[in-house]
Amino acid sequence: MGPVPLFPFLSVTWFTLLVAVVAAEDVTGDGYTWPQWKVPLVRNRRTVTLSSPGFTAEPQGELNGTCGIECQSHLPDPSMHDLEEFLAYETVYENGTRTQTFVSVQGDNGVDVWSAGKVSSSSRSRRKREVYGTDTRFTIADKQFSSKYPFSTSVKISTGCSGILVSPKHVLTAAHCIHDGRDYLNGAQKLRVGVLKEKSRRGKGGRGKRGRGKGKRRKGGEEEEEKEEKDRGKERKGGKRKKSRSRRSVETEKLSFRWTRVKLTQIPKGWFKGGASDSVAADYDYAVLELKKPQKVMHMDLGVVPSIKNLPAGRIHFSGFDDDRSGNLVYRFCSVTEESKDLLYQHCDAKHGSSGSGVYIRLKEPGKKKWKRRIIGVFSGHQWVNVNVDGAQQDYNVAVRITPLKYAQICYWVHGDSGECRKA
């Protein structure tokens, strides 16, 4: 089934979007199942205390000079020592203290992650653009979608990025959303994560379900209550017909961000500039945030695939909070143009704010008829990529792919037990 026409600026009905999502995720044939990987162990070797970070960095635009496919083909394979340097990580706690943890990698497939297959690099140049041709993004404004899986797994980061829930208490996002490669962003000191949740509904007599007879309300609750009182006043003046229309309008606007403080953040040292190698920084543009309170919504599991381009249409999907559609969740899908062992190059339409979104696909569970979505990458954003050793650059929207080693590290951060992370 081919892609369906998209009309992102019109109001999208449940059925229209359902057809689009199913068409985008349609994979025919029985052979397209999640591969089973033996994941190497990433074990903590030593942890040292560091001085508190300065939190002085400013948010970045696009990244320049990322070593692309042709560029990477001229680099030697990283040694085990290099891999352990890249996978060492910093942890920053809510109180501002910081540690660095050194790791050891154990497992026969720890170095040779996989061969992604032969990939070609286009020599055609492009001007900078985050929307390529017709804008094919869907704005998910209807609560029937944005509060339901898989869209409900998307979260907003207080520094302006997006992320995705990988457990009730853990969010996967891009490292550059909280760190510029040298220091933490000035907004990362009191980092928060926003989850879209439905506001309290009106009960009989015009009262909400929550808070009846209780004096405590969340910050901003008074403003929400005043707005509802005004809406009810307009309904009474406008008669039955106006009341019905107003009630439908309120029903579609009952989602708001519920913010939760971040307990700690973890970033691989491979992201840090001036570390083992500047050229691989983009390959490690991911981070995990642990929340102070678990969220009562579904999360999405991690997955590993050897090659996206070998799948029908090579499509990926992700949802985030693009800046140009403030407060709304934005969904898109597209085909991967190029891929390397660590990065996915594509022209998915995206704007600032979508960085950190979880990139996912849907495949069959091994030995079952059930289909399952899993996160196979983190959307990093617009980047100028070095396509050859002469420094020629081409622009892409780039995602960091989950490799077995990255899976092992992220899984350990989430579970705290490497025994939970032996298979992907």
Q: Is the pLDDT of residue 150 over 70?
A: yes
Task: Report how far Cα 54 is from the mean position of its chain's Cα atoms.
Answer: 26
Q: Are 174 and 353 in contact (CB under 8 A)?
A: no
Q: What backbone phi and psi angles, to 5 degrees, belong to 370?
A: -75, 135
Residue reference for tokens 């340097």: 85
What's the pLDDT band for 123 if we cut at 50, 70, 90? Answer: very low
Q: Is the pLDDT of residue 69 over 70?
A: yes
Q: Is the pLDDT of residue 385 over 80?
A: no
Segment among 9-18, 316-325, 367-376 with least mean pLDDT: 9-18
SS (H, E, C) the chain: CCCCCCCCCCCCCHHHHHHHHHHHHCCCCCCCECCCCECCEEEEEEEEEECCCCCCECCCCCEEEEECHHHHCCCCCCCHHHHHHHHCEEEEECCCCEEEEEEEEECCCCCCCCCCCCCCCCCCCCCCCCCCCCCCCEEECCHHHHCCCCHHHEEEECCCCEEEEEECCEEEECHHHCECCCCEECCCCCCEEEEEEECCCECHHHCECCCCCCCCCCCCHHHHHHHHHHHHHHHHHHHHHHHHHHHHHHHCCCEEEEEEEEEEEEEEHHHCCCCCCHHHHHHHCCEEEEECCCCCCCCCCECCCCCCCCCHHHEEEEEECCHHHCCCEEEEEEEEEEECCCEEEECCCCCCCCCCCEEEEEEECCCCCCEEEEEEEEEEEEEEEECCCCCCEEEEEEEEECCHHHHHHHHHHHHCCHHHHCEC
Alpha carbon distance 108, 41 (integer Å): 10
Q: Are 59 and 190 in contact (CB under 8 A)?
A: no
* pLDDT given for residue 279 in this prediction: 52
* Residues with active-site annotation: 176, 278, 355
| pTM of the entire predicted model | 0.78
Instruction: Kindly report, residue by residue over 331-350, the tens digit of the pLDDT.
Output: 999 888 888 889 898 888 88
Q: Answer yes or no: is pLDDT of 389 > 50.
A: yes
pLDDT of residue 324: 86
Bridge partners for 49 per DSSP: 99
Answer for the pair 137, 322: CB distance below 8 angstroms, yes or no: yes
Structural domain boundaries in the chain: 29-114+133-198+257-421
Where does the pLDDT of residue 290 fall: very low under 50, low under 70, confident under 90, or very high at 90 and above? very high
* Res 60: pLDDT: 73
Q: What is the CATH number of domain 29-114+133-198+257-421?
A: 2.40.10.10
Give the pLDDT confidence of 81-96 residue by residue, as tens digits. 999 999 999 999 999 8
Evaluate if residue 149 carries a pLDDT over 80.
yes
Q: pLDDT at residue 354 above 60? A: yes
Query: What per-residue confidence (pLDDT) applies to 291?
Result: 98
The pLDDT, as a whole number, for residue 422 is 82
Label residue 33 exposed, middle or buried (CB < 10 Å: 0-12, 13-18, 19+).
Answer: middle
Q: Rounded mean pLDDT of the chain?
A: 77
pLDDT of residue 234: 47
Per the model's pLDDT, the better-predicted residue between 303 and 351 turns out to be 303
Residue 261's pLDDT is 97
Question: pLDDT-derived band of residue 200, with 50, 70 and 90 as boundaries?
Answer: low
Take residue 130 and report the two structure tokens written for it: 């985050």
**What is the average per-residue pLDDT within 172-196?**
94
One-letter identity of residue 250: V
**Of 190, 173, 186, nearest in space to 292 by CA:** 190
Does the pLDDT at position 77 exceed 70?
Answer: yes
Interval 123-128 mean pLDDT: 38
Cα–Cα distance between 166 and 156 in angstroms, integer?
A: 14
